[in-house]
Structure 1
Amino acid sequence: MGVDSDRTDDELLALLRRMWESRDAPPADLTERMIAAVAVDDVSREYALLTEVSEGRAAVRSEQERLTLQFSDDAISVLLHVAATESGARRVDGWCEPPLLAARLAQDAREWAAEVGDAGRFAFEDVTPGLSAVRLIVQAGGELKEFITPQFEV
């Protein structure tokens, strides 16, 4: 393939593109696979898998509302138990695997910090009802990892 010195940069680049496409074409599904890989990476970091284990409000009519949620990804598993208190606030008890270093519950601009106990246990008291997310810092595989749950109703 000879190259004329009269050709523009755009023409030379088009020739190179056609040559590489014919000799080393990318897989037909490359774009879809890359979009899926980026989406999965983002989902596992930000949202994880949400499984509603049980919801006492639907099964039992009482003053005491209860909700149990489980969140997990490939390295972290979190179990949350939400219960209404007599004052109308909520108590959120949690358990995390692997070892937990810090736990915070956030609603808009307000945050609650929890003391971390043995065996990955933590609790938030006097939480205002509303949409919430829990942010955890854990040590997994020798490195620190951040885990953020999807928003859920407290």
Structure 2
Amino acid sequence: MAETDLELLARLRAAAESIDPPATDLADRMIAAIAVTDISREYALLTLISNAETPVRAGAAGGEAETSTLQFSDGSASILLHVAHAERGRRRVDGWVDAGAVEVQLTQNDRTWTTAPDNQGRFAFDEIPPGLSRVRLIIGSDRKDLLTPHFEV
């Protein structure tokens, strides 16, 4: 930006602040609004049905398999995830959602897997590497979403 542009912007700001000054508590209200949004997302609290630190062991042909069952909810939508060990150290994630989800995304770092639930809300991800993950539900035509906290796959 040229110096004249910066001067013009400074004069516009001064005029706007003198004619229609922002509310004195505007910054605090905006910070609170953003915090509430984050809290409501994080309120999709992890409820362990099977304790994730002590996985349930289920017998399987060829050895034992570790499984974890996790449930998340934000009050309007719930998701149930069942994580099982698969071949070659990979995981299978089976899930069920009770809301009208049109898309489900499982994310680890920069990688995302996407699927659509069936009519009963069931979906699955195969061949997922172990690691810290999140699930995002895209719900309905308004594209509202539910983002889970991080959990270990």
Q: Indicate whether the TM-score tops 0.5.
A: yes
**CA root-mean-square deviation:** 2.7
Q: Is the 8 A contact 1:99 1:119 kept in 2?
A: no
Q: Does 1:94 align with 2:95?
A: yes
| Secondary structure of the structure 1 residue equivalent to 2:65 | coil
* Residue in structure 1 matched with residue 57 of structure 2 by the alignment: 60
Q: Which amino acid aligns with 2:143?
A: L
Q: Distance in 1 between matches of 2:123 and 2:105?
A: 10
Matched, 1:51 2:50: no
* Residue 114 (structure 2) aligns with: 113
Unpaired runs of 5+ in structure 2?
A: 1-27
Q: TM-score, normalised by structure 1?
A: 0.68
Change (3 A) 1:108 1:59: closer
| Pair 100,88 (structure 1): closer, same or farther in 2 beyond 3 Å | same
Structure 1 residues without counterparts, runs of 5 or longer: 1-30
The verdict on how the C-alpha distance between 1:78 and 1:59 changes in structure 2, with shifts beyond 3 A counting, is closer
SS state at 1:60 partner:
strand
Alignment map for 1:2-21 (pairs within 5 Å): none
Percent identity, please.
Answer: 51
**What is the TM-score normalised by the length of structure 2?**
0.68
Given the superposition, is the C-alpha separation of residues 97 and 47 from structure 1 closer, same or farther in structure 2, using an over 3 Å criterion? same
Query: How many residues are paired up?
Result: 123
Structure number with larger C-alpha Rg: 1
